[in-house]
């Protein structure tokens, strides 16, 4: 196993810059998830680590060695592809043993390694089959097995679960996590699915337009998103955003703050670092941080648009200050469409973003940890 360091790595195709100076240190044994919408450069970065794409400038090192000029085969990494990329003309066993054979590993050692991995992944009965005769989930396992057998310095995953149906995906998520605990291998996992990122990562790297937006643990990213992009990308149902102007208030001598929405109503927030009165800001509130209140005096009026029962909970779609918002509730509300409810924001949990830079303005009370990059 090994650490991976990416120093100021750039990638451009002709005049088009795909990655703008990526800096990232992945420690030994860490499970890193690169997440972002398609076209954000996450797959390109992964393929640069694998050696499948040239590095335009900058350095990528594995275990302290700069590997820019090494062929993929000399980098001692394994990769699981979205399409699985199983060799169709080889059996499961041959697929898994191909890399070992190329390294001239002794036959009995290969057999041992394959038997072992097949046991772990429940593939023992399928070893003689061709990929064509396997289900999607089984193919996915073989692709995993092919990577594990090699005991590489690092595992690279390129959206390995996106061809599976929802139930299987959930199951494999857990399995990959368990495998990682067991093998402790450095892993870089690319996905566009924020749930995968949240559930699997030691650290999430959120990317957008070829730039790393934020690096942090799932909880950190969820609770303290660095900017509007990360806030909107992570979390489902997505965060609500309401534009307004920042105001400071004095209430009973305590310094307070609020955001004046377009309809004139004021949402109280914690005083934010670097925010000044009348500064255009965006209020960010996750659906679970808005509550429906019975007492009209304590809430803002919102019109109900749709009730979406989700089993465990219910999602209420409503319009507030002319903007659609979603409210998460564990109750079983039965509001009529177009009726009015009153909602209150959890002052401790909502976020204030600067509308022009889109950066989060953390509350004065939050220790200034400073998100990396």
CB nearer to another protein: pick between 129 and 323: 129
Supply the DSSP string of 310-347, one letter for each residue: -SSSEEEEEEETTEEEEEEESS---PPTT-EEEEEE-T
If you count them, how many residues does the chain have? 373
3-state secondary structure of 297: helix
Our finding on whether 83 is near another protein (CB under 8 A) is yes
CB nearer to another protein: pick between 72 and 256: 72
Sole binder of another protein in the list 10, 70, 265, 349 (CB under 8 A) = 70
Least separation in angstroms between residue 108's CB and another protein is 20
Question: Of the ranges 85-93, 199-207, 288-296, 324-332, which one interacts with another protein (CB under 8 A)?
Answer: 85-93
CB nearer to another protein: pick between 164 and 325: 164
Sole binder of another protein in the list 71, 252, 339, 365 (CB under 8 A) = 71
Our finding on whether 117 is near another protein (CB under 8 A) is no
Sole binder of another protein in the list 15, 64, 322, 336 (CB under 8 A) = 64
Alpha carbons 340 and 294: distance in angstroms, whole number:
11
Is cis: bond before 237, omega within 30 of 0? yes
Least separation in angstroms between residue 1's CB and another protein is 9
Judge whether 19 and 11 are in contact, CB under 8 Å: yes
Alpha carbons 238 and 285: distance in angstroms, whole number:
9
Sole binder of another protein in the list 24, 48, 78, 212 (CB under 8 A) = 78
- Spell out the residues 6+ positions from residue 51 whose beta carbon is closer than 8 angstroms to its own: 67, 70, 71, 72, 75, 77
Least separation in angstroms between residue 60's CB and another protein is 10
Alpha carbons 186 and 94: distance in angstroms, whole number:
25
Q: How far apart are the first and last CA of the chain?
A: 25
Our finding on whether 8 is near another protein (CB under 8 A) is no
CB nearer to another protein: pick between 85 and 111: 85
Binding site for another protein (CB under 8 A): 2, 5, 50-52, 54, 59, 61-79, 81-89, 98-99, 102-103, 146, 150, 153
């Amino acid at each position: 196993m090994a650490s991976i360091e990416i120093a100021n790595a750039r990638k451009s195709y002709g005049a088009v810059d795909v990655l703008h100076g990526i800096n990232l240190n992945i420690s030994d044994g860490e499970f890193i998830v690169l997440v972002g919408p398609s076209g954000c450069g996450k797959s390109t970065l992964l393929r640069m680590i694998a050696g499948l794409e040239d590095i335009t400038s900058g350095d990528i090192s594995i275990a302290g060695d700069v590997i820019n000029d090494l062929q993929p085969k000399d980098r001692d990494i394994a990769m699981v592809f979205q399409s699985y990329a199983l060799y169709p003309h080889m059996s499961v066993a041959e697929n898994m043993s191909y890399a070992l054979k190329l390294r001239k590993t002794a036959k009995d050692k290969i057999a041992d390694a394959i038997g072992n991995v097949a046991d772990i992944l429940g593939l023992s009965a399928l070893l003689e089959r061709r990929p064509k005769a396997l289900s999607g989930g089984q193919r996915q396992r073989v692709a995993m097995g092919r990577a594990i057998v090699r005991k590489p310095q690092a595992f690279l995953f390129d959206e390995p679960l996106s061809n599976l149906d929802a139930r299987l995906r959930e199951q494999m998520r857990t399995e990959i996590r368990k495998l990682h605990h067991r093998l402790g291998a450095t892993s870089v996992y690319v996905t566009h699915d924020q749930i995968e990122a949240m559930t699997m990562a030691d650290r999430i790297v959120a990317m957008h337009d070829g730039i790393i937006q934020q690096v942090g643990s799932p909880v950190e990213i969820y609770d303290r998103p660095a900017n509007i992009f990360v806030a909107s990308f992570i979390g489902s149902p997505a965060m609500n955003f309401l534009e307004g102007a920042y105001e400071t208030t004095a209430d009973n001598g305590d310094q307070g703050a609020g955001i004046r929405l377009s309809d004139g109503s004021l949402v109280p927030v914690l005083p934010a670092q670097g925010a000044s009165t009348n500064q255009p800001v965006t209020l960010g509130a996750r659906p679970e941080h808005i509550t429906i209140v019975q007492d009209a005096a304590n809430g803002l009026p919102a019109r109900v648009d749709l009730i979406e029962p989700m089993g465990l909970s219910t999602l209420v779609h409503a319009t507030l200050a002319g903007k659609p918002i979603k409210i998460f509730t564990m109750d079983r509300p039965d509001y009529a469409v177009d009726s009015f409810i009153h909602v209150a924001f959890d002052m401790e949990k909502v976020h204030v973003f600067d509308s022009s830079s889109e950066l989060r303005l953390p509350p004065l009370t939050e220790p200034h940890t400073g998100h990396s990059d």
